[in-house]
Amino acid sequence: MRAGRKRKQGDRYPCGKRMPSPEELARRMTPRKPETVDPTPETLARRTAAFGNPKAEAELCCPVDLLRGRLTPEQFYAGRYARTVYARYCIAIGAPKVVAGQLRDFVQGGGGSAMNEDQAIEAVKQYQAATLAIRRYSFRSLKEVERVMHGSMPRSFDALAIGLTALADYLGIEAREAA
């Protein structure tokens, strides 16, 4: 008698792995419908402000949302502003759309500009003004805020907090406005 657990009965591949039963194969081949969840009114408003389209799916997961518990309200709203300004800047310059998450390095193609020339110029000016305001305070903080703008988690939370505080000061966000 062999030591250990008994093997389950059934056909096996040469490597020893069990072959799936016909029922299991049928279950695997059946297409599943994706679950649909309606976006919240806040998400629709944010997408409309950022991309001009409430059905836009460009924002998948924002690192600022994940860090909300560690950031002050002023820093949180400055981070959301930074993401919005960066998204509008990318649309203005026609940058390719990069998928966040596991496919971060997969480029989906050139983004067509959905703005007129005046809006594009304004978006570029806002982006440059925001980055200059942070850079005047700390270049390292600017790099951390840019990581968040690009959809990555920051390497140094302290540097991110300093950069977002500098941006909040530039924008004039106060505690009573943010709360």
In a domain, 154, yes or no: yes
Q: How many residues does the chain have?
A: 179
The pLDDT of residue 56: 61
Tell the residue number behind the tokens 């977002």, with chain if given: 164
In a domain, 33, yes or no: no
Q: What is the pLDDT of residues 117-139, one digit of tens each?
A: 888 888 899 999 999 999 998 89
In a domain, 70, yes or no: yes
Q: Which two tokens stand for residue 141?
A: 């903080």
In a domain, 65, yes or no: yes
In a domain, 22, yes or no: no
Low-confidence ranges of the chain (pLDDT < 50): 99-111, 178-179
The count of other CB atoms within 10 Å of the CB of residue 22 is 8
Question: How far is 168 from 77, CA to CA, in rounded Å?
Answer: 8
The whole model's pTM is what?
0.58
Q: Which two tokens stand for residue 149?
A: 């703008």
Q: What is the pLDDT of residues 51-78, one digit of tens each?
A: 666 666 555 567 787 787 888 889 988 9
In a domain, 79, yes or no: yes
In a domain, 57, yes or no: yes
In a domain, 26, yes or no: no
Q: Which domain holds residue 150?
A: 41-178
Q: Are 137 and 156 in contact (CB under 8 A)?
A: no
Domains in the chain, number:
1
